[in-house]
Structure 1
Amino acid sequence: MIVSATFSQPDRATLAERWQALEARSEGSFFLGWTWVGAWLDSYGVRPDLLAVTDAAGQDVALALVGHAMQPRLLGGIATLSLNQSGDPQADRPYVEYNGLLTEAGRETEADAAAIAALTRRRDWRALTLSGIAPDSPLLGLPARRRNRIDVSPVYQVDLDAVRAADGDYLSLLSTNTRSQIRRAMKDHGGPLPDVAIGGLDDVTPWLEEMAVLNGGRHADNAWDDAGFRGFVGTICARGLSSGAVQLLRFTDAGGVVGLLVNFVHRGVAMNYQSAFAAPRTPKDKPGLLCHTAAVGHYAVRGLSRYSLLAGKDRYKQSLATCEESLEWWVLERFSPRLEAEALLRRLLKRPASA
């Protein structure tokens, strides 16, 4: 069947209706679902273009949002499109992963080809940002002067089938050192893993406020210091809790709170999106490891297939993982005198595109 692709800016209600209708026929990631997309649009008030691939009857085959912004570069601003992002660093703080087109199942090949052709026809950009895409994403086939891979990140995961096969003994699947750290922390907390409470709608505001306090001053450029980001997390929790697409977990023991997690649950995979942990009670205490270990047990007994720590190169994620995959961040560039000069300057200075 012949498909075509166009750009438009439908009103919010129409966009929601079309997106959710296609989502019901898609096998897309959580980050391409309306729980994420709607919360992001409403939290930041951005208005990216809608890229729609439709069939001859006008039915949506694939959808994506495309932001347009002047992005700062080494020699000045460059007109840049961003897939399912706005191009504004503040509005893109939620950090999309498993990015791509929301596509009707079974029609990926024709949808990708039509989307690539539509993006190629646009003449108002010189760079295209593809954040958090699969390494084999067909969108990387878009014609370009240069393809710069900005980053590759592991996505560390726990195979919950393996945990169940080990009769629930998750620690037996980990390294000797990690097992020792977790057992020592359990001893510091009085023995067992912390209790897990599942938050409801009434818990969203107080528990997220608690997370903001626990995360305060932990590191530079802390997302939890940003009111817009806190609003986004609150919105996505409020909208996703009732369906189970979002879970808010709080971990406690006799000594009080140990930590909190905001997790997404999609197609049998639980994904840890945000976390906050109490201060260590002893020099060798590991409250984060305790909470994630308890979360693994929580999801294993509920029959899920994976517990994902999402993208990130943190050592603790690697320590907790039993398997992994990867995501990539790319910028595709067209010919531009400014970008040609930048590329030459980077070669002379031996400065990579990611710098």
Structure 2
Amino acid sequence: MHKNANLMRSLSVTSAPLNKEQLPQLLEQWTRLEKVSSKSFFTSWKWIGSWLKMLDYRTNLVTVYDGSEVIGLAFFNIHKANRPFHISAQLWFNRTGEDAKDQIWPEYNDILCPKGREWAVRASVLQHLVEKYPEMDEFVLGVSRQEIYETPTPPSLFPRVIWETKSYASLLKPEFCDLDSFLSSTSRNTRHQIRRTLKLLRQRGEVELVKAQSDEEALIMLKHAARLHKKRWPGLKSGFNNPYFENFHYELIKRNYSSGCIDVLSLNVDDTPVCFLYNFIHRGYVYFYLSGIEYEKDNRLKPGLLAHAMAISHYASMGCATYDFMGGEAQYKASLSNHQVSLIITSFQRKQPLFILKHWLDAAKSYVRSPGNPPSDRE
């Protein structure tokens, strides 16, 4: 048993379907824990509150106590998944297991708890749910950092990575507020492409990065971004063809834009938009979520690359610490980043013969999503 086992014994856990009457008290508990947590936007009430509304509050709540103090909170949903040779009963944390509802794709997902107590809280939750739901085959948590895989597990479970990718970020420096200073930190080829794009676009008129000044303006800009996104990613590849995805983000913006945690940016050339960026800002950390790009016939023009470079410079001038491109491998992310980590989805699986066979042989290729890009392409 892990060294945190003694801490686990002092914790108690409850779980039950969410009751809407709990929401005022839950909001107070959640926002209190946010202040002492690892501070992910995707476990903030801003994101979670909009997600709960998308689900019409049909979910389950798990609560962890240290004595009478609430120190852990998460939601979970149960899903029956068709897998090769069997149907798997899954329990998903802060997700549903349904592709359409999960296309909003939260990253840095976890059980909300004080920083430094994550392993003990996760282990206590797993122990509680394993005992309460003996019919569950898997307990799934992600997209998250790799250390979640190392969470102490009950003897009846073992962890298995079922999806993984790289995540890229630019760790910002104050001098990056000057675009040329930031470009000097990139490769010669990246600098050349961005400077050439800027030069060619300036031949058409003024080039500027414009921020939506209200939720109404942000929603209008996001609708323009959606048109470009659907053009780039036809069918179900674009979340904007999914009503759950679209309604979630419109709700997220309407609820939260005035608080300053969401940016919709437009790269304009002579007052004409050529690229939109949709970003989240949480405690000085910027998450790039998706873009809509007006692709040019002239392949020398890279409006998306330029927009990101100008956004990085903009956020550096605001004193932000990180510009995170999040999960999914792409050349433009690697070109503009100076930091990368691995992100995974972990399934804590029952020690059943079929799961053990899959674990050792890694034969069920249809079960594991191809590493690289999330199912909702956000380029």
- Structure 2 residue aligned with 1:206: 220
The correspondence for 1:132, drawn from 131, 136, 143, is 143
Give, in angstroms, the shift of residue 301 of structure 1. Answer: 0.6
Alpha-carbon separation, structure 1, partners of 2:135 and 2:195: 57
Contact between 1:48 and 1:67, CA under 8 Å: does it hold in 2? yes
- Structure 2 residue aligned with 1:256: 272
Matched positions, count: 352
SS at match of 1:242: helix
Contact between 1:195 and 1:251, CA under 8 Å: does it hold in 2? yes
Give, in angstroms, the shift of residue 200 of structure 1. Answer: 1.1
- Structure 1 residue aligned with 2:285: 269
The correspondence for 2:166, drawn from 154, 164, 167, is 154
Alpha-carbon separation, structure 2, partners of 1:337 and 1:105: 36
Indicate yes or no: 2:200 matched with 1:188.
Answer: yes
Q: In the TM superposition, what are the counterparts of 1:214-229 in structure 2 within 5 Å?
A: 214-220=228-234, 221-229=237-245
Judging changes above 3 Å, is the alpha-carbon distance between structure 1 residues 197 and 245 closer, same or farther for their aligned structure 2 residues?
closer
Indicate yes or no: 2:242 matched with 1:234.
Answer: no
The correspondence for 2:358, drawn from 315, 331, 343, is 343
- Structure 2 residue aligned with 1:32: 43
Judging changes above 3 Å, is the alpha-carbon distance between structure 1 residues 108 and 127 closer, same or farther for their aligned structure 2 residues?
closer
- Structure 1 residue aligned with 2:339: 323
* Cα-to-partner distance string for 1:257-278 (whole Å, 9 max, x where unaligned): 0211111111211111121111
SS at match of 1:354: coil
Alpha-carbon separation, structure 1, partners of 2:180 and 2:271: 25
Give, in angstroms, the shift of residue 25 of structure 1. Answer: 4.0
The correspondence for 1:80, drawn from 78, 81, 90, is 90
Give TM-score scaled by structure 1 length: 0.90
Q: Quick one: which amino acid aligns to residue 37 of structure 1?
A: I
Judging changes above 3 Å, is the alpha-carbon distance between structure 1 residues 8 and 293 closer, same or farther for their aligned structure 2 residues?
same
Alpha-carbon separation, structure 1, partners of 2:61 and 2:122: 15
Alpha-carbon separation, structure 1, partners of 2:56 and 2:241: 19
The correspondence for 2:76, drawn from 50, 53, 66, is 66
Give, in angstroms, the shift of residue 336 of structure 1. Answer: 3.6
SS at match of 1:214: helix
- Structure 1 residue aligned with 2:19: 11
Alpha-carbon separation, structure 2, partners of 1:12 and 1:251: 41
Give, in angstroms, the shift of residue 353 of structure 1. Answer: 5.0
Contact between 1:268 and 1:304, CA under 8 Å: does it hold in 2? yes
* Cα-to-partner distance string for 1:157-216 (whole Å, 9 max, x where unaligned): 112116449886111111111111111111220167533223311213311211111112
Contact between 1:189 and 1:255, CA under 8 Å: does it hold in 2? no
Give, in angstroms, the shift of residue 350 of structure 1. Answer: 7.8
Q: In the TM superposition, what are the counterparts of 1:82-101 in structure 2 within 5 Å?
A: 82-101=92-111
Contact between 1:28 and 1:103, CA under 8 Å: does it hold in 2? no
Which stretch has the larger CA shift, 279-288 or 299-308?
A: 279-288
Alpha-carbon separation, structure 2, partners of 1:339 and 1:249: 45
- Structure 1 residue aligned with 2:125: 115
SS at match of 1:132: strand
The percent identity for this pair of structures is 27
Structure 2 stretches of 5 or more lacking a match?
Answer: 1-6, 370-379
- Structure 2 residue aligned with 1:142: 153
Question: What is the aligned-residue RMSD (CA, Å)?
Answer: 2.6
Q: Quick one: which amino acid aligns to residue 20 of structure 2?
A: R
Alpha-carbon separation, structure 2, partners of 1:287 and 1:166: 19
Q: Quick one: which amino acid aligns to residue 42 of structure 1?
A: K
Alpha-carbon separation, structure 2, partners of 1:101 and 1:348: 28
Give, in angstroms, the shift of residue 348 of structure 1. Answer: 9.5
